[in-house]
């Protein structure tokens, strides 16, 4: 990713600081984490090939999306580069929180082992298995593991798939999952011009229009079962929920976030307290991404 990309993220972090209370705690950590990931990917750029190249026939893609089938791409990831990024993130964590140095040392051992036992390239499913192992063996808390793994995977996907994603005719897509990679979404936005609901894939960054009164997970369109809540009258982030499948996702209302080129993934990380709240209200993340630890409670008063 170019330096400009890094600057874009830095600006977004500054914007989020003004928008969301409680974000100050995570901010230095995010700055370190993005810096670490971008520097790594940049240094790898010439060597290329972290993510397997994705090609498809435009016309076939067109008819597939029109038939309601996601492209479901699942490119392989170079194991060494993936482990390199995860390691960088681990080190970034230690720089901010030296007290968990031992956990990160154990994390690095697991990574080493993973690299030794894996093939040269792995699929994202194998990366998720590794994440579950890290959580299952109590090496990292679930929220920390989700943070590190989603950041690494989404950076790899976004950096390599931007052109492919932009070339996809998502105007033909009405599904709730990602048209390109098939992942279930975790966030989206309300477009500033017209309030239209746009969903963004947390993994590959593909955006698509989605019917406003419709659950992306179970396709429920019953208005009485769909709703949203905000926190402390902050309109920038809405937690959208569906009572039929008990799931939630977040929508960032760009009408109340001044500025252009909004990086939604930063807003997602800046509003993890909303995820805790959604869970307290009895909803699960429709994306399957667990940003919250078991028994964690929201403390807004400090």
Cα dihedral value 217, 218, 220, 223, nearest 10? -40
DSSP state of 292: S
Q: How far is CA 17 from CA 100, 270, 298, in A?
A: 25, 8, 18
The reply on whether position 245 binds Zn ion by CB under 5 A is yes
The reply on whether position 160 binds Zn ion by CB under 5 A is no
Q: Which stretch binds Zn ion (CB under 5 A): 9-17, 116-124, 212-220, 227-235?
A: 212-220
Q: How far apart are CA 222 and CA 241, in angstroms?
A: 12
Are the beta carbons of 239 and 277 closer than 8 angstroms?
yes
Q: How far apart are CA 181 and CA 198, in angstroms?
A: 16
The reply on whether position 246 binds Zn ion by CB under 5 A is no
Residue 7, C-beta contacts closer than 8 angstroms, at least 6 positions apart? none
The reply on whether position 178 binds Zn ion by CB under 5 A is yes
CB of 41 to Zn ion, least distance (A): 18
Q: Which is nearer to Zn ion, 83 or 215 (CB)?
A: 215
Q: Mind giving me the DSSP string for 148-174? A: HHHHHHHHHHHHHHHHHHHTS-GGG--
The reply on whether position 204 binds Zn ion by CB under 5 A is yes
The reply on whether position 96 binds Zn ion by CB under 5 A is no
CB of 167 to Zn ion, least distance (A): 14
The reply on whether position 278 binds Zn ion by CB under 5 A is no
The reply on whether position 181 binds Zn ion by CB under 5 A is yes
Backbone phi, psi, residue 94, to 5°: -65, -35
Residues between 215 and 234 with contacts to Zn ion, criterion CB under 5 A: 215, 217-218, 220
The reply on whether position 198 binds Zn ion by CB under 5 A is no
Residue 233, C-beta contacts closer than 8 angstroms, at least 6 positions apart? none
The reply on whether position 206 binds Zn ion by CB under 5 A is yes
Q: Which is nearer to Zn ion, 70 or 271 (CB)?
A: 70
Q: How far is CA 36 from CA 32, 113, 154, 162, 291, in A?
A: 6, 22, 14, 20, 21
The reply on whether position 264 binds Zn ion by CB under 5 A is no
Q: Which stretch binds Zn ion (CB under 5 A): 11-19, 101-109, 145-153, 210-218?
A: 210-218
CB of 245 to Zn ion, least distance (A): 3
Structure tokens of 272?
């993890």
The reply on whether position 180 binds Zn ion by CB under 5 A is yes
Which residues on neighbouring strands pair with residue 41, listed in sequence order? none
CB of 177 to Zn ion, least distance (A): 8
Q: Which is nearer to Zn ion, 181 or 189 (CB)?
A: 181
The reply on whether position 54 binds Zn ion by CB under 5 A is no
Q: How far apart are CA 110 and CA 124, in angstroms?
A: 17
Q: Which stretch binds Zn ion (CB under 5 A): 48-56, 115-123, 205-213, 258-266?
A: 205-213
Structure tokens of 86?
């995860």
Are the beta carbons of 163 and 153 closer than 8 angstroms?
no
Binding-site size for Zn ion (CB under 5 A) equals 15
The reply on whether position 201 binds Zn ion by CB under 5 A is yes
Write out the residues near Zn ion by the rule CB under 5 A.
178, 180-181, 183, 201, 203-204, 206, 215, 217-218, 220, 242, 244-245
């Amino acid at each position: 990713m170019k330096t400009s990309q890094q600057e874009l993220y830095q600006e977004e972090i500054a914007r989020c600081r003004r928008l969301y209370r409680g974000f100050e705690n995570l901010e230095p950590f995010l700055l370190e984490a993005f810096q670490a990931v971008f520097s790594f990917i940049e240094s790898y750029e010439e060597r290329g090939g972290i993510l397997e190249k994705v090609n498809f026939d435009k016309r076939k893609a067109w008819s597939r999306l029109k038939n309601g089938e996601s492209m479901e791409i699942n490119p392989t990831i170079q194991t060494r580069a993936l482990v390199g990024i995860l390691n960088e993130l681990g080190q970034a964590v230690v720089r901010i929180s030296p007290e968990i140095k031992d956990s990160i040392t154990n994390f690095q051992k697991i990574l080493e082992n993973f690299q030794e036992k894996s093939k040269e390239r792995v699929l994202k499913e194998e990366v998720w298995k590794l994440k579950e192992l890290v959580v299952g063996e109590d090496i990292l808390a679930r929220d920390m593991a989700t943070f590190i793994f989603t950041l690494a995977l989404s950076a790899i996907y976004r950096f390599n798939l931007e052109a492919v994603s932009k070339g996809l005719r998502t105007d033909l897509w009405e599904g709730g999952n990602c048209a390109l990679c098939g992942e279930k979404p975790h966030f989206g936005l309300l477009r500033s011009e017209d309030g239209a609901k746009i969903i963004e894939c947390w993994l590959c960054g593909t955006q698509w229009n989605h019917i406003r009164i419709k659950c992306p997970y179970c396709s429920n369109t019953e208005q009485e079962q769909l709703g949203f809540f905000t926190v402390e009258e902050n309109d920038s982030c809405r937690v959208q929920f569906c009572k039929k499948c008990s799931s939630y996702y977040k929508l960032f209302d760009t009408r109340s976030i001044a500025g252009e080129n909004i990086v939604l993934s930063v807003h997602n990380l800046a509003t993890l307290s909303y995820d805790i709240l959604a869970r307290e209200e009895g909803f699960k993340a429709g994306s399957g991404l667990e940003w919250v630890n078991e028994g964690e409670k929201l403390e807004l008063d400090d």
